[in-house]
Chains A and B, each alone.
Chain A
Amino acid sequence: MSSPNKSALPTHILDEIRELPARYPQPRSAVMPALDLAQEELGHLTPEAMSEVAEALSLDPGYVEGVATFYSLFHHQPIGKHRFYVCTNLSCMLRGANEVVDHLKQAIGVERSDQVSSDGLFSFEEVECLGACEYAPMMRLDHRYFYDLNDQKVDALVAERRGKPVVTAEKPKPKRVPRKKPGG
């Protein structure tokens, strides 16, 4: 899997992960905070990263894989530097969330949730209710909520982020171990 001399996660992250179990009544609870650290570092979780997390926590990689693929906030494919999590659940849908998504797709030039804009800046995902229905339609972006969305607001959010300098080195490697292919 990972080449012997180079690990997916830097040593300081692995050190941090090793300290997590002590914070919980049982060490296994550390698995999600640990995956958080890994994902923050890499943008998304690779099999190598999950295996390293497992090793740091004395768990089997398979266990970590099972947990990491259960939760929607863990990503297993590269995502944009800015990911738009747009709520399209009922309250937001009734107030135009689907139109917001359509506009967003155009604005960032991305069609599907598993794609990333060509500059690596943007990706999006339709998500379930984010618990801010009184501000529908709404979304989560860069760890913040944005409310009462419309086309102009979406354009402004996109433009603002385009203006910021992008550190391309942070872009996650697109290389991926081939996984299960769609069946036939």
Chain B
Amino acid sequence: MAELRGSHGDQAHHILTSLFGTPDLHTLSVYESKGGYTALRKALLDMAPADITNEVKTSGLRGRGGAGFATGTKWSFINRDAPGPKYVVVNADESEPGTAKDRYILENCPHMVVEGILIAAYAVGANQAWVYIRGEYDEPSRMLQAAIEEARAKGYVGPKPFGKDFPLDIRLYRGHGAYICGEETALLESLEGKRAQPRSRPPFPAVKGAWGRPTLLNNVETLATVPAIINRGGAEYAKLGTAKNPGTRLLTVSGNVRKPGVYEVEIGKTFRHVIMELAGGPPEGRVVKVFWPGGSSAPVLPGSMLDMTTDAEALAAAKSMGGSGGVIVMDDSHCIVKAAHRLLQFYAHESCGKCTPCRIGQDWAVRTYERILANEGSQVELDILQRVSDGLQNGRCLCGLGDSGGWVIDSTLRHFREEYEDHALRHECRVGTVAPPALRATSPQVGRT
């Protein structure tokens, strides 16, 4: 395995990563020797399902996949006593640009994820869990599969885990290259063998999810946090972080920093701490020009806002969000227009095409950026960008992917209007060190004139 880049080892605030770095932690024996699976045993033998859910509620844990929904509350939406199958579906599709933390967990400690899944399944009354893992994650999926098999051999996955008469099973389903599969209803469609286009809600997955059955959907990191909450107690966990956004979370710091990596951070610390201290700040002689605080979908914040804290409330107040915890840092040697263009290419490429504004708008934005970057821009192009951005946000789209593209345009325009005007009106770039991004090949089926 590659050299670990990020938090590991015992530190006061390390909840997820304190064992990371232990040799062979991915094996069941080492994980168990460090206290692994005690939470599962406790949950199965000493706790009623409702108590588990309450403990998670008490912890104040919020989903780490992007939307930040209260995890305990989500669990309580599943009617445990409803007859027929129910499922836990684990979102391991991690594809948000700038986000690598689920991979980091899966490669270091797959058993922690297995344990969290099993606890969640028991809590909501599901006998089967499906992990939807992105197809490019060959190594993480091998490791997770191996962990499941080890747990199966031990009986933790099986008809009677720890002697409890509650069969538990975990299965893997591999994605095939589509960012939209991270969106929960698109993920469910994909899991059902369909084109991954989000479903219109209601019904919500808790009522009608995978294969039409009640389904709990959680992110890898969310579930990996559960064993710690069961072991320490929700109240203890809630002491970390902020009152409304307790605990720690993994922030993937990437881009123009000296020590990129996945850092476990107590929520509420500042981005200055994360970017300048943990990740070592920008290269020599450079300053942070802009950062994406929560993956490419989170509206950007300018370098002047490094003292912003990492909790959801503070970020919302600054018109951004904690998202997936992917902190992308860009220094002053790079051009914001080119960066925004690259991200819009991403959203256009990944738009599922189901709804009009996203299908057309993301592509329209890309073409407009291309005109601007080819020095063919004018005020017209700037107006188009603003208009497309408005049309992508504000509830126009069926799912969050549409908004995300709009936020990239909107937030970069808001904070860096002058740089846009440089390009569009004056046909110049104040940094100009990055080669113009390669244009993505369009499908052979379509042409453009």
A residues sitting closer than 8 Å to B (CB atoms) are: 23-26, 28-33, 35-36, 66-67, 70-74, 85, 88-91, 93-95, 98-99, 101-102, 112-114, 126-136, 140, 143-145, 147, 179-184
Contact = CB atoms under 8 A, between A and B. Distances in A.
Contacts of B173: 29
Contact of A91 (B97, B128, B179): B97
Interface in B233-262: 252-256, 260-262
Interface stretch (B58-66, B398-406, B431-439): B431-439
B277 interface: no
A134 B260 contact: yes
B96 interface: yes
Contacts of B252: 133-134
Interface majority SS (helix, strand, loop, mixed), chain B:
loop
B136 A131 contact: yes
B444 A179 contact: yes
Contact of A90 (B128, B175, B296, B447): B296
Given A32-B193, A94-B255, A182-B445, A89 B97 contact: yes
Contacts of A143: 138
A47 to B, nearest CB: 14
A131 B95 contact: yes
Contact of B195 (A66, A112, A140): A66
Most buried by B among A26, A36, A147: A26
Contact of A134 (B136, B178, B262, B352): B262
30 contacts: A35-B176, A70-B178, A71-B177, A73-B135, A88-B438, A89-B97, A89-B296, A90-B98, A90-B330, A91-B97, A91-B98, A91-B254, A93-B434, A94-B434, A95-B255, A112-B441, A114-B444, A129-B97, A131-B94, A131-B100, A131-B136, A131-B137, A133-B326, A134-B260, A135-B2, A136-B254, A136-B260, A179-B445, A180-B444, A183-B447
A98 B99 CA distance: 20
Given A89-B342, A180-B444, 13 more contacts: A70-B196, A72-B177, A72-B178, A73-B176, A88-B438, A102-B435, A126-B438, A129-B95, A131-B137, A133-B98, A133-B99, A147-B2, A181-B444
B2 A128 contact: no
Contacts of A74: 176-177
A134 B100 contact: yes
Nearest to B138: A143
A92 to B, nearest CB: 8
Given A29-B193, A85-B136, A91 B328 contact: yes
B45 to A, nearest CB: 29
Most buried by B among A30, A72, A143: A72
A94 B177 CA distance: 23
B326 to A, nearest CB: 7
B261 A144 contact: no
B211 interface: yes
Contacts of A101: 438
A19 to B, nearest CB: 15
Determine the interface band of chain B, counting residues with CB < 8 A from chain A: 35 or more
Contacts, number: 180
B255 A131 contact: no
Given A128-B350, A134-B253, A145 B193 contact: no
Given A25-B211, A28-B194, A70-B195, A129 B441 contact: no
B440 interface: yes
Nearest to B352: A70
Nearest to A94: B255
A132 B402 CA distance: 24
Nearest to B2: A147
B37 to A, nearest CB: 26
Nearest to B128: A25
A29 B191 contact: yes
B160 to A, nearest CB: 22
Given A89-B97, A184-B447, A28 B254 contact: no
Contact of A144 (B139, B253, B446): B139
Nearest to A183: B447
Given A98-B438, A128-B350, A144-B138, A28 B192 contact: yes
Contacts of B13: none
Interface string B147-180: 0000000000000000000000001011111110
A129 B211 contact: no
